[in-house]
């Protein structure tokens, strides 16, 4: 067991912050000393690590508590999402550093603002948060999965990887091609049939997640070769954009 002072020094978090986390029910200490001082065990420290990772990604404390108190909270899945988001954040910072260097070298004549674009991080963060919420898609996923055996789950996973292997076979072609777009539609239909209704918004978010790095990217690239996840994402974004445009045209008519 560690005192609040020890945890503060170990984690680089102020005592006041730890007291506040206790007050709002985000991080309760395992116990107290006879004098009433907080004591934290290893489980508390693991929870604190999770909290600090979410905080590093600028999740509000209210959302962190909601996520971590969800009955469906899965630490490993949360870590995968955190790794993907941190990877996107790293890329964002590297782009900003490169821009700053370019401005310094050119004397301020670099009129490029693309490095400030945080849309990929925001889209993925929204997708990650939604996966912990009480969404219709997540309820449908739980309902469809409840009676499946482990073997059936593995078989579905293998079927999805075969779709990505098909993306890999054409990854050096145009993602806007008919074949690539057909595969994006095939993936959407597969997810809808076996997991939950995969709308264009959901599919777009999934595409970003596939290409964001971490286990998702590695698994997809493992199925189709390096670059498959990125190609699939591009094909998916074009597919969703076209479907969205088509839907808007229909509404106008």
pLDDT of residue 17: 92
pLDDT digits over 201-219, tens only?
Answer: 888 888 887 887 766 788 8
Whole-model pTM above 0.95?
no
> What are the start and end residues of each CATH 1.10.1660.10 domain in the chain?
2-68
Which DSSP string do the residues of the chain spell out, in sequence order? -EEHHHHHHHHT--HHHHHHHHHTTSS--SEE-TT--EEE-HHHHHHHHHHHHHHHTT--HHHHHHHHT-TT--HHHHHHHHHHHHHHHHHHHHHHHHHHHHHHHHTS-----GGG--HHHHHHHHHHHHHHS--HHHHHHHHHHTT--HHHHHHHHHHHHHHHHHHHHTTTS-TTSHHHHHHHHHHHHHHHHHTS---HHHHHHHHHHHTSSHHHHHHHHHHH-TTHHHHHHHHHHHHHHHHHHHHHHHHH-
In the prediction, which pLDDT does 210 show? Answer: 85
pLDDT tens profile 99-114: 787 777 776 665 566 6
- Condensed to tens digits (0 to 9), the pLDDT of residues 18-34 reads 999 999 889 999 998 88
What confidence score (pLDDT) does residue 128 get? 64
pLDDT of residue 252: 40
Q: Whole-number mean pLDDT of the chain?
A: 81
* pLDDT above 60: residue 251: no
Q: What's residue 245's pLDDT?
A: 59
Q: 2-68: what CATH class? A: mainly alpha
Q: Is the pLDDT of residue 145 over 80?
A: no
pLDDT value at position 253? 42
pLDDT tens column, 51-90: 998 888 777 888 788 888 776 677 777 777 778 778 877 8
Q: Considering only residues 252 and 122, tell me which one the structure prediction assigns the higher pLDDT.
A: 122
């Amino acid at each position: 067991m560690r005192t609040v002072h020890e945890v503060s020094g170990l984690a680089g978090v102020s005592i006041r912050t730890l007291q506040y986390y206790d007050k709002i029910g985000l991080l309760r200490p395992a116990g107290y000393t006879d004098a009433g001082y907080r004591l934290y065990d290893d489980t508390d420290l693991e929870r604190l690590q999770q909290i600090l990772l979410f905080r590093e990604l600028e999740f509000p404390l209210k959302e962190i508590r909601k996520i971590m108190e969800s009955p469906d909270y899965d630490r490993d899945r949360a870590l995968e999402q955190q790794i993907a988001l941190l990877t996107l954040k790293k890329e964002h910072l590297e782009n900003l550093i490169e821009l700053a260097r370019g401005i310094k070298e050119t004397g301020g004549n670099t009129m490029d603002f693309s490095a400030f674009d945080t849309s990929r991080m925001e889209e993925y963060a929204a997708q990650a948060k939604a996966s912990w919420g009480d969404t219709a898609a997540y309820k449908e996923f739980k309902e469809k999965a409840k009676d499946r055996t482990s073997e059936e789950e593995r078989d579905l996973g293998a079927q999805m990887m075969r779709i990505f292997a098909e993306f890999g076979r054409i990854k050096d072609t145009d993602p806007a091609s008919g074949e690539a777009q057909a595969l994006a539609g095939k993936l959407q239909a597969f997810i809808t049939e076996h997991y939950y209704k995969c709308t264009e918004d959901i599919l777009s978010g999934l595409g970003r997640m596939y290409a964001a790095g971490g286990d998702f990217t590695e698994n997809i690239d493992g199925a189709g070769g390096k670059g498959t996840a990125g190609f699939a994402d591009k094909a998916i974004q074009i597919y969703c954009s076209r479907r969205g445009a088509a839907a808007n045209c229909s509404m106008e008519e």
